[in-house]
Amino acid sequence: MIKFKRATALLLALLMALSATACGKSDDESNTASEEPTASADTADQSEAPAADGETKEPVTIKFSWWGGDSRHAATQAAVEKFMEKYDWITVENQFGAWTGWEDSMSTAFASGTAPDVNQINWNWISSFSSDGSIFKDLNEYSNVIDLTQFDQAALDDCTVAGELQAIPVSKTGRIFYWNTATFEKAGIAAPTSLEELMAAGETFKTKLGEEYYPIALGEFDRMILMVYYLESKYGKEWVTDNTLNYTKEEIVDGMNFIQSLEDAHVTPSIQTITGDGAESLDKNPKWMDGRYAGIFEWDSSATKFRDALTDSSTFVVGDYFKDMGDYQGGYSKVSLGFAISETTEHPEECAMLINFLVNEDEGIELGASERGIPLSKYALQYTTDKGLLDATVSEANAKVLAWTSFKLDPKFEDAALKSQPDGVYYDVFAGLSYGDYNADEAADTLIEGVNTVLGN
Amino acid sequence: MSASAVAGKDIKQPIKKRTFKKVCKDNAGFLFILPWLIGFIWFKLYPFGSSLIYSFSDQHLFNGVTKWGLMNYQDIFESTKIMRAFTVTFKYAFLTVPLKLVAALFIAYILNFKIKGVNLFRTAYYIPSILGGSVAIAVLWKALFKDDGLLNTLLGIFGINGIPWLSDPKYALFIICLLRVWQFGSAMVIFLAALKGVPQDLYEAASIDGAGKWRQFFSITVPMITPVIFYNLVTQLCQAFQEFNGPYIITNGGPRNSTTLISLLIYNSAFRAHEMGAASAMAWVMFIVIMIFTVISFLSQKYWVYYSDEDGR
């Protein structure tokens, strides 16, 4: 009896150990699938599947990650399904979610070598995570699979770090004004086309509509980008060139005063007011939805989510850049996001095929449309334009951004130490200025110190 | 032949004769705890040790180590941001632990009476502890405390101006503390079990002597459950110093870092700024702080904790 009890206990302990091992990894299926080719190498006739071109290919499983909203998830999942139909020996496992927290988890995955095989990446991830080319594969090596001729060399250069093309640029983006014309009409004025009109609108909103109404809502990072737009318009210099901040303290103080003047003139609510709204982001803020905040300064690729959040989306219009901001055409455009292949993948060819399918092949283009902005691939742009697949608002905004912006952006502008919420330098500086913890002089000092630290100066 | 040599021979001989069956029998206990042991070494001991090593380097998630030294520890004491996070953490711990213990004991005391539907109340009061720091709670808390939230709307009915609970650095920490105090269920259940263990004859004797409910509570109940109060104090203190979910999901450390607890700063440092060395050093300082408070709590036992099996002390 004692022996039986011991044997049972030992068996239970072993089962527990086995179950603990099984819990350790969530991608059991992919492991099994990816091991199949190895296992089937000796018995090719049993496991090989027929390929679309008549050849036989070994079954392959790859993982694909992206972030985005519901419409992007639906479109990408549909595109992946099509891809698996077309290349039936490849299985793609999807891993997707919202942006919040995404960068934190992906950076850990890249560092630990557990990232998916194909990844939608933010442009600055190339320089932040793979400045020596150790995280992402050099896609020049797969130019036989990905049609690189569809992309301008300048766009490819933007994704080339350490002499390696580390991502395929999907679209370019920049910040532009958007207005909810319904609120402006309610105030009896037209949506602003100049800085002067915007400044005047603040007072009009306050007197005619009430304290809760503002012509534009600007968060901390929005203020940083708007300040750079203002400074570039006025002084005609890029923010950073060759690891050097191009602006003097006096010039940055000027920029800080400009931002603060917007708050003082009731053009934009204070950071405290926006925080008190309790919304995760501006597009989810009830005051944006019901028109109390009548404008935003946002990415062209984000237009749809702001438009669709409005009670009446027909009153959402793309604004114009302000010509009275300075003598230069300030503002910048940058690669919004790209597709990259993890260095750790065992199936780089199949990963390259998936990327090419999404950016250069009819089915992938059609399903993706403008979900990731206006395509940079010439073929995709032609195809989506001809078929009328592009969102009119995004298209208009993107055209205005690319036509106006003339300055380049240094990738370190979006370094985590500067941009991360809540304790990145930009958040500290502009919230501090708004809360009154910093004056313009102190805010400029903090910003300069933070930027120089990131630049390594 | 010396005595030790003889003894050595005596010891060695049985080992040679040990069979596989006997080895298994002798080490059965070890086999049973092996799964836990592997988990402990791999997921606790190894990170524990490696974080200590990292704390003396500028370990970066992507750039590796370029220098070694005490710079991270030096930064902790020189950086206003880190010192402020420690201050906020102390405020948080010293506000929430007593409040939570008082709330848990008070409710447990009430729920110890024979009242109708007591099981329903016990369940209801325990539910917040199950919910923990979830997205649903973040939504609820924001809906309650935002500028035009439920609480300010109620205040408005009585002609009181709304208070910027979440956006004013003066109030935000209070709101985060409130979330923790609200989740007193687990401490309450432990108190409830302890209250049931207090002998009824003590209360009967006290009643005969004319002691009222309050007197009975402070002269009988509290002294009899001091071991459980002590247990709850130590566990709650440790948990409060390590709190992460509340400030992360509701305020993300804001406004103006007024709710940035040290755990949140460690997270930001490690997974947003990718500075693993600095984050490890902060974690170790936090560990030492918790150790100090735990040791102080244990040393204080002899002055206020009553163990009935130790001759009255």
| Amino acid identity, position A56 | T
Q: What is the pLDDT of residue B311?
A: 53
Count CB neighbours of B185 within 10 A. 20
Compute the distance between CA of residue B55 and CA of residue B122 in angstroms, rounded to an integer.
45
Q: Do A278 and B147 touch (CB under 8 A)?
A: yes
Count CB neighbours of A276 within 10 A. 24
Residue A390, pLDDT > 90, answer yes
Phi then psi for B158, rounded to 5 degrees?
Answer: -90, 15
Average pLDDT (B231-250) is 93
Q: Please write the tens of the pLDDT for every residue from A270-312.
A: 999 999 999 988 998 999 999 999 999 999 988 988 999 998 8
Q: Are both A305 and A367 inside the same structural domain?
A: no
User: C-alpha distances in angstroms, A431 versus A270, A275, A417, B105?
Assistant: 9, 10, 16, 41
Residues 6+ apart with CB under 8 A from A92: A61, A62, A63, A64, A80, A83, A84, A354
The alpha carbon dihedral of A336, A339, A340, A342 has a sign of positive
Reading the block at residue A112, the tokens are 């630990």
Compute the distance between CA of residue A25 and CA of residue A93 in angstroms, rounded to an integer.
15
Q: Are both A123 and A221 inside the same structural domain?
A: no
Average pLDDT (A310-317) is 92
Q: Are both A326 and A379 inside the same structural domain?
A: no
Contact A107, B274 (CB under 8 A): yes
Q: Which residue in the block uniquely carries the two structure tokens 């130590």?
A: B234
Q: Do A108 and B143 touch (CB under 8 A)?
A: no
The answer to whether residue A156 is domain-embedded is yes
Q: What is the pLDDT of residue A428?
A: 95
Residue A124, pLDDT > 80, answer yes
Residue A245, pLDDT > 90, answer yes
User: C-alpha distances in angstroms, B50 versus A129, A424, B7, B59, B281?
Assistant: 22, 27, 42, 11, 11
Contact B180, B251 (CB under 8 A): no
Q: Give the pLDDT band (50/70/90) at residue A429.
A: very high
Residue B22, pLDDT > 60, answer yes
8-state DSSP, A142: G
Average pLDDT (B66-80) is 94
Q: Which of A192, A232, A186, A193 is nearest to A207 (CA)?
A: A186
Total beta-carbon pairs less than 8 A apart between chain A and chain B:
90
Contact A359, A262 (CB under 8 A): no
Residues in B touching A107 (Cβ below 8 Å): 61-62, 271, 274
Q: Please write the tens of the pLDDT for every residue from A330-350.
A: 999 999 999 999 999 999 999
Compute the distance between CA of residue A115 and CA of residue A125 in angstroms, rounded to an integer.
13
Phi then psi for A157, rounded to 5 degrees?
Answer: -60, -35
Q: What is the pLDDT of residue A152?
A: 95
Q: Please write the tens of the pLDDT for every residue from B88-98.
A: 999 999 999 99
Q: Give the pLDDT band (50/70/90) at residue A41.
A: very low
Q: Please write the tens of the pLDDT for every residue from B158-195.
A: 999 999 999 999 999 999 999 999 989 999 999 999 99
Q: Are both A310 and A376 inside the same structural domain?
A: no
Q: Which pTM does this prediction carry?
A: 0.83
Count CB neighbours of A74 within 10 A. 13
- Start and end residues for every CATH 1.10.3720.10 domain found in chain B: 71-304
Give the nearest partner residue to A421 out of B32, B35, B252, using CB atoms. B252
Count CB neighbours of A448 within 10 A. 18
A126 touches B at CB < 8 Å: no
Average pLDDT (A352-368) is 96
Q: What is the pLDDT of residue B308?
A: 72
Contact A40, A89 (CB under 8 A): no
| Amino acid identity, position A386 | D
Q: Give the pLDDT band (50/70/90) at residue B17.
A: low
Residues in B touching A127 (Cβ below 8 Å): none
Q: What is the pLDDT of residue A39?
A: 32
User: C-alpha distances in angstroms, A338 versus A356, A373, A374?
Assistant: 12, 11, 12
Residues in B touching A271 (Cβ below 8 Å): 255
Residues in A touching B41 (Cβ below 8 Å): none
The residue of chain B nearest to residue A425, with distances taken between CA atoms, is: B273
Residue A138, pLDDT > 80, answer yes
Phi then psi for A346, rounded to 5 degrees?
Answer: -100, -5
Q: Which of A283, A331, A338 is nearest to A306 (CA)?
A: A283
Give A 56-115 residues with CB within 8 A of chain B.
103-105, 107-108, 110-111
Could you tell me the residue range of the domain that residue A72 belongs to? 60-171+335-392
Domain CATH code at residue A153:
3.40.190.10
Give the nearest partner residue to B166 out of A108, A278, A437, using CB atoms. A278
**Phi-psi domain of B252 (left: phi exceeds 0; alpha: psi -120 through 50; beta: other):** left
Q: Are both A194 and A299 inside the same structural domain?
A: yes
Q: Which of B147, B201, B13 is nearest to A273 (CA)?
A: B147
Residues in A touching B168 (Cβ below 8 Å): 272
Reading the block at residue B7, the tokens are 């003894």
Q: Give the pLDDT band (50/70/90) at residue B63.
A: confident
Q: What is the pLDDT of residue B310?
A: 56
The answer to whether residue A71 is domain-embedded is yes
Q: Which of A439, A432, A419 is nearest to B258 (CA)?
A: A432
The answer to whether residue A160 is domain-embedded is yes
Residue B258, pLDDT > 60, answer yes
Q: Which of A212, A221, A272 to mutate to test the interface with B (most CBs of B within 10 A)?
A: A272
The answer to whether residue A20 is domain-embedded is no
Q: Are both A187 and A324 inside the same structural domain?
A: yes
Q: Please write the tens of the pLDDT for every residue from B261-282.
A: 999 999 999 998 889 999 999 9
Contact B289, B241 (CB under 8 A): yes
The count of domains in chain A is 2
Compute the distance between CA of residue A81 and CA of residue B13 in angstroms, rounded to an integer.
69
Q: Are both A303 and A432 inside the same structural domain?
A: yes
- Its CATH architecture, for the domain B71-304, is Orthogonal Bundle (1.10)
Tally the C-alpha atoms within 13 A of residue A347's C-alpha that lie toward its C-beta: 26
Residues in B touching A133 (Cβ below 8 Å): none
Q: How distant is the Cα of A360 from the closest Cα of chain B, in angstroms? A: 32
User: C-alpha distances in angstroms, A55 versus A49, A51, A124, A351, A436?
Assistant: 9, 5, 40, 19, 69
The answer to whether residue A328 is domain-embedded is yes
DSSP, collapsed to helix, strand or coil, labels residue B185 as helix
On whether ipTM exceeds 0.90, the answer is no
Q: What is the pLDDT of residue B249?
A: 86
Greater confidence, A150 or A423? A150
Compute the distance between CA of residue A163 and CA of residue A144 in angstroms, rounded to an integer.
19
Compute the distance between CA of residue A367 and CA of residue A77 in angstroms, rounded to an integer.
9
B254 touches A at CB < 8 Å: yes
The answer to whether residue A22 is domain-embedded is no
Q: What is the pLDDT of residue A420?
A: 83
Count CB neighbours of A270 within 10 A. 17
A210 touches B at CB < 8 Å: no
Compute the distance between CA of residue A231 and CA of residue A226 in angstroms, rounded to an integer.
9
Give the nearest partner residue to A111 out of B61, B253, B260, using CB atoms. B61
Cβ burial, residue B171 (10 Å; 0-12/13-18/19+): middle
Q: Give the pLDDT band (50/70/90) at residue B43.
A: very high
Average pLDDT (A198-211) is 97
Q: Give the pLDDT band (50/70/90) at residue A19.
A: very low
Contact B175, B250 (CB under 8 A): yes
| Summary mean pLDDT of chain B | 89
Q: What is the pLDDT of residue A33?
A: 33
Q: Are both A273 and A414 inside the same structural domain?
A: yes
The answer to whether residue A2 is domain-embedded is no
Q: Which segment of A227-231, A421-425, B11-15, B213-217 scores lowest on mean pLDDT?
A: B11-15
Compute the distance between CA of residue A404 and CA of residue A329 in angstroms, rounded to an integer.
6
Say if residue B255 is preceded by a cis peptide, omega within 30 of 0. yes
Reading the block at residue B194, the tokens are 């302890």
Q: Give the pLDDT band (50/70/90) at residue B12.
A: low
The answer to whether residue A135 is domain-embedded is yes
Reading the block at residue A318, the tokens are 């793309």
Q: Which segment of A88-97, A140-149, A395-404, B107-116 scores lowest on mean pLDDT?
A: B107-116
Residues 6+ apart with CB under 8 A from A226: A175, A218, A259, A297
